[in-house]
Amino acid sequence: MPYHRATLSTFLIDERRRTPDFDPELAGLIKDVEVACKYIASAVSRGSLAEPKVSTGVNIQGEEQKPLDVIANEMFLQACDSTEQLLGVVSEEMEGPHAIPRKRSGRYLLVYDPLDGSSNLDLNLTVGTIFSVLRAPEGAGEPKPEHFLQPGTSQVAAGFTLYGPSVMLVLTLGRGVHGFTLDREVGTFILTHPDLRIPEETREFAVNASNERFWEAPVRHYVEECQLGKSGPRGVDFNMRWVASMVAEVFRILIRGGLFMYPRDTKDPSKAGRLRLLYEANPMSMIVEQAGGAASTGRERILEVKPSSLHQRIPVILGSRNEVERLVRYYQAHDRGEELTFKSPLFGNRSVFQS
Ligand code: AFP
């Protein structure tokens, strides 16, 4: 391997040359996020060798925190406290915005899920961090919840890290998606996956199938078509995956395509889905769209949803554009009152609900 390869640092410098209005303060913020992710990667890699001395509780989501949830959040706060560019942060692990001390002029807001997929930690499966960068309102002075309630189209950067067999950081600044792999020997993220693109076609879908009885008709119709494979209306066989770690699902889709679904369901009518809009759906949707994919609630483009609260949940259907668009068409037909049937010589006009 050549000694000198592009790194996250040289990429950010080159970005400045390519895009004159690229704010060096934003580059500085991305570098602070990089530092936080390196510390989290080190903590995660310790696995059961770690003897964390932190108190845990139930977070704002009503979820039992794991020690690494708390540690990862603290690492982000410490890395952000030293940055000049940040007015405040919102985290999955904290109820309200956290003001960065002494930074009343920061031009950016950071929103993050410090450890996504943490229910996989005890299983030694891939987990990650998801982050999103927004502009702070001029003269805001201090971070208020309403400052963060911007649609996903307002994001100026988004990314996620994967703490897996290798540690990776995937980043978009609004001009494509690029993947960096951590060279642990020198402690540097190396540009290994420039210009990631999602194939428009796929034969692979990801959904937690145990929720099938709670799904709306369009999702049940789509999944049943895939399950019928060659003998069904799609005429080809499909594969299914479910890692229960969104960062791993999205990275797989960036590499070989696919459709990821965590749709609205009736399991808990008070929740619009499981995933959170600000620090899961929006950053992942920006990345997926920047890589040529699509991201929808089933009824609208995720990036155009106007947030109403910091921790609101949203249905998520994202990945290969042609498959997202197919499922959106099923929602549209369903909402027009049309019955979703299989149009195929084998099945005639069989409704998904006919026995
Ligand atoms: P945790 O962070 O609580 O493990 O949740 C992970 C997640 O938000 C997302 O990364 C997964 O895609 C999804 O939840 C898995 O949900 P299920 O556990 O219901 O399959």
CA distance 178 to 290: 10
Taking the CA of residue 116 as reference, the ligand 1 atom at the shortest distance is 2
150, 173, 193 - which closes a domain = 193
Instruction: Read off the amino acid at residue 32.
Output: D
In a domain, residue 122? The reply is yes
Q: Determine if residue 183 is labeled as part of a ligand binding site.
A: no
Tell me: do 215 and 182 sit in the same domain: no
For tokens 């030293």, name the residue. 82
193, 225, 254 - which closes a domain = 193
How much is the CA Rg of the chain, to the nearest whole Å? 21
Q: Determine if residue 118 is labeled as part of a ligand binding site.
A: yes
Q: What is the dihedral of CA 313, 317, 319, 322, to 10 degrees?
A: -150
DSSP-based helix, strand, coil % in the chain, nearest 5: 35, 25, 40
In a domain, residue 199? The reply is no
- CA-closest residue to ligand 1 atom 14: 244
Enumerate residues 6+ apart whose C-beta is below 8 A from 61: 92, 276, 311
Taking the CA of residue 245 as reference, the ligand 1 atom at the shortest distance is 10
- C-alpha distances (whole Å) from 38 to each of 32, 148, 209, 333 are 10, 26, 34, 46
pLDDT at 353: 45
Show the tokens assigned to 257.
């395509």
Instruction: Read off the amino acid at residue 115.
Output: L
pLDDT at 53: 79
Question: Full-prediction pTM beyond 0.85?
Answer: yes
Tell me: do 121 and 233 sit in the same domain: no
Q: How many domains does the chain have?
A: 2
Q: How far is the CA of 180 from the centre of ligand 1 (A)?
A: 24
The DSSP output letter for 66 is P
In a domain, residue 2? The reply is no
Tell me: do 184 and 251 sit in the same domain: no
Show the tokens assigned to 299.
């009824």
Taking the CA of residue 115 as reference, the ligand 1 atom at the shortest distance is 2
In a domain, residue 3? The reply is no
Q: How far is the CA of 208 from the centre of ligand 1 (A)?
A: 10
CATH number of the domain where residue 18 is located: 3.30.540.10
CATH number of the domain where residue 308 is located: 3.40.190.80
Q: Per-residue pLDDT tens for 79-118?
A: 887 777 799 999 999 999 998 877 667 899 999 999 999 9
In a domain, residue 1? The reply is no
pLDDT at 48: 82
Tell me: do 246 and 170 sit in the same domain: no
Q: How far is the CA of 261 from the centre of ligand 1 (A)?
A: 12
Taking the CA of residue 120 as reference, the ligand 1 atom at the shortest distance is 4
CA distance 71 to 163: 15
pLDDT at 1: 54
Q: Determine if residue 195 is labeled as part of a ligand binding site.
A: no
- Ligand 1 pocket at CB < 6 A: 63, 116-119, 208, 244-246, 262, 274-275
168 three-state secondary structure: strand
Task: Count Cβ atoms below 10 Å from residue 187 Cβ, excluding itself.
Answer: 9
In a domain, residue 298? The reply is yes
Taking the CA of residue 63 as reference, the ligand 1 atom at the shortest distance is 3
Please state whether 235 falls in left (phi above 0), alpha (psi between -120 and 50) or beta. Answer: left
User: What's phi and psi for 10, nearest 5 deg?
Assistant: -70, -30
pLDDT at 61: 75
Instruction: Give the DSSP H or E segment for 14.
Output: helix 8-18
Tell me: do 143 and 64 sit in the same domain: yes
Angle at 111 between CA 140 and CA 66, to 5 degrees: 135
Q: Would you say 10 and 17 are in contact if contact means Cβ atoms under 8 Å apart? A: no
Tell me: do 182 and 46 sit in the same domain: yes
pLDDT at 210: 96
Q: Would you say 133 and 114 are in contact if contact means Cβ atoms under 8 Å apart? A: no
For tokens 């980043």, name the residue. 171
Angle at 288 between CA 285 and CA 289, to 5 degrees: 85
DSSP line for 100-112: PTT-TT--EEEEE
Q: How far is the CA of 276 from the centre of ligand 1 (A)?
A: 10
Polymer length of the chain: 355
- CA-closest residue to ligand 1 atom 6: 117
Q: Determine if residue 208 is labeled as part of a ligand binding site.
A: yes
Q: Determine if residue 134 is labeled as part of a ligand binding site.
A: no
Tell me: do 36 and 182 sit in the same domain: yes
Q: How far is the CA of 242 from the centre of ligand 1 (A)?
A: 10
Tell me: do 281 and 182 sit in the same domain: no
CA distance 347 to 2: 57
Tell me: do 176 and 270 sit in the same domain: no
Tell me: do 216 and 151 sit in the same domain: no
In a domain, residue 51? The reply is yes
Do strands 167-172 and 98-99 pair parallel, antiparallel, or not at all (unpaired)?
unpaired
Tell me: do 172 and 225 sit in the same domain: no
Tell me: do 75 and 188 sit in the same domain: yes
Q: Determine if residue 115 is labeled as part of a ligand binding site.
A: yes
In a domain, residue 352? The reply is no
pLDDT at 343: 62
Taking the CA of residue 242 as reference, the ligand 1 atom at the shortest distance is 20
Enumerate residues 6+ apart whose C-beta is below 8 A from 187: 38
Domain that holds residue 263: 204-347
Q: How far is the CA of 4 from the centre of ligand 1 (A)?
A: 38
Residues of the chain with pLDDT under 50: 352-355
Q: How far is the CA of 245 from the centre of ligand 1 (A)?
A: 6
CA distance 289 to 99: 30
